[in-house]
Structure 1
Amino acid sequence: MREWKPTNWKKEWTFTSAPFALFIHTPLCGTCQAARRMLSVATEIVPEISMMSANINIMPDLAQQFQIESVPCLLIKSKDGTSSKQYRFPSVTELVERLRIERDR
């Protein structure tokens, strides 16, 4: 999972083809670390979804634009350009199902 840089995230969000997922986290969050491990397994199962990550501590404008309420957060950009957020990371199975739904839309 490649980390987004604060300087170019707006350009990447605009020009990256969908479906696309952005994992928003903070480095010291234990729940974020567990969610990252689950997402790394899920993206191995559904490799068609591009996955990036963003440290919200150094990207406050990202939090404002997408109204991120807490971390970890999975921000998914659909083919039609709309975005949705997911804050729950209960299992790899549920994440795989969510990524497959976005892939097949």
Structure 2
Amino acid sequence: MKELTELTEKELLSRLAEAGGGREAILFFTPLCGTCKVAERMLQVVEASGQAIPLHKLNINYARELRQRWQVASVPCLVVVEAGEVQAREYAMHGVDFLFNLLKEA
């Protein structure tokens, strides 16, 4: 399974500005967080299904602006955005089936 694409905050802000309102999901993580690694593995399974919206990851240590704007309190945190606005903020990943349903394309 391929890893989620890690973006910098600047890259993500630029991508969201260019996306024109598409739905995307961003996993806020820290490198030493074991629970974040488990969440990322579950998201890799969802992404491998080929039915998921675009998924990325962002190191919360380097995302001050988005962390504040989107009110991310802890990691792991999966934020689903559409048109640059937060549609969902999940801290408990529950399982692959939960994530698949949350992230499947409409």
- 34-43 or 14-23: bigger deviation: 14-23
1:45-100 CA-to-partner distances (Å, cap 9, x unmatched) read 2444111110001122221111101110111113x553221111111011001112
Superposed, which structure 2 residues align to 1:1-105 within 5 Å?
A: 1-16=4-19, 17-78=21-82, 81-83=84-86, 84-100=88-104, 103-104=105-106
> TM (normalized to structure 1)?
0.85
Structure 2: state its 5+ residue gaps: none
How far did 1:40 drift?
A: 0.4
Distance 1:96 1:20, change over 3 A: same
Aligned-pair RMSD on alpha carbons? 1.6
Gaps of 5+ in 1: none
AA of the residue aligned to 1:23: L
Q: Percent identity?
A: 31
Q: How many residues align?
A: 101
